[in-house]
Amino acid sequence: GAGVSQSPRYKVTKRGQDVALRCDPISGHVSLYWYRQALGQGPEFLTYFNYEAQQDKSGLPNDRFSAERPEGSISTLTIQRTEQRDSAMYRCASSLSPGILAGAGNEQFFGPGTRLTVL
């Protein structure tokens, strides 16, 4: 596609439910990143992939959060047993080349985000 797409754009769920957020990166982009942005704050890095390999998940808040990218394209961020503090904008970004090869810094293009509200 022309840009990074995310679905759903809005998700309202009840505390304790599981949610799955989807990211479709720009075609051909090798690296995919997940961020979380609270209201009035800058995005906070969660995890990223080069191809299908998850490179670092140290930014994930706890073990209720997981992400996968099984075929090196679309990625899913899953939050189990959601809590009210999980409410935020979840953003996905992609970049053309793996940072480890090209040097970190290939610009990341962001999707529109998924606004998650946990009641």
| Chain residues 38-97 in contact with another protein, contact rule CB under 8 A | 40-48, 55-56, 58-59, 89, 91, 93
Neighbours of 1 (CB within 10 A): 8
Buried b (16+ CB within 10 A) or exposed e, 85-98: ebbbbbbbbbbeeb
Residue with Cβ nearer another protein (14 or 62):
62
Phi, psi dihedrals of residue 116, rounded to the nearest 5°: -100, 130
Among 24, 30, 33, 79, the residue binding another protein under the rule CB under 8 A is 33
State in angstroms the smallest separation of the CB of 95 from another protein: 9
Closest distance of CB 15 from another protein, Å: 25
